[in-house]
Amino acid sequence: MNDVSQANNRNYKITAVIYALQAMGIFVGITFLFAIIMNYIKRSDVANTWLASHFTWQIRTFWYSLLWPLLAFMSFFGIVGGLKLLALIFPHSNFTVLRITLMGLFTLFVIGVCAVISVWIIYRIAKGAISLYDKKPMYFNIT
């Protein structure tokens, strides 16, 4: 085996390990962090190869998996804060039932968003791992 094919084989294995770390990250979050660190450290090794698309896929999976729950929590706390502000502005009004109901609904919303994101992460990891196994890039360049 020549040096190029050995490097490609090594990078293929590293990409597979990163998918495995991401999959374990669903249960043990720290491995997701190890995966993104490996992505950024080894990214230059896979530049201009079909594996680069997998690294882009993995990096986007990580960052979007942080972004969407963050937005859900921010909207949750924004609504709760708005309801508390209304209670301060109108202290003699009965906002208690409305506040409790809306807080419960928004709690369910945040839980639902997190569940959808979990399914989305599993999909992204599975799709990426299957494409890697089939030795296909994640994105096809249309020129």
At 105-136, the pLDDT tens digits run 878 887 888 899 999 999 999 999 999 999 99
Residue 142: which pLDDT band, with cuts at 50, 70 and 90?
very low
pLDDT at 38: 95
Structural domain of residue 95, as residue ranges? 3-133
> DSSP labels for 33-73?
HHHHHHHHHHGGGGTTSTHHHHHHHHHHHHHHHHHHHHHHH
Residue 90 or residue 142, greater confidence:
90
Report pLDDT digits (tens) over 23-69: 999 898 899 999 999 999 999 999 989 999 999 999 999 999 989 88
pLDDT at 125: 96
Report pLDDT digits (tens) over 59-116: 999 999 989 888 877 877 777 677 677 667 766 666 666 667 777 887 888 788 889 9
> DSSP labels for 6-33?
HHHHHHHHHHHHHHHHHHHHTTSHHHHH
Please state the domain count of the chain. 1
- Confirm whether 122 is domain-assigned: yes
- Confirm whether 95 is domain-assigned: yes
- Confirm whether 139 is domain-assigned: no
- Confirm whether 112 is domain-assigned: yes
- Confirm whether 143 is domain-assigned: no
For 80, list phi and psi in degrees, rounded to 5.
Answer: -60, -45
Residue 53 or residue 1, greater confidence:
53
- Confirm whether 142 is domain-assigned: no
Distance CA 50, CA 137 (A): 5
- Confirm whether 138 is domain-assigned: no
Residue 15 or residue 104, greater confidence:
15
| pTM of this structure | 0.79
Q: Which of 106, 22, 17, 16 is nearest to 66 (CA)?
A: 22
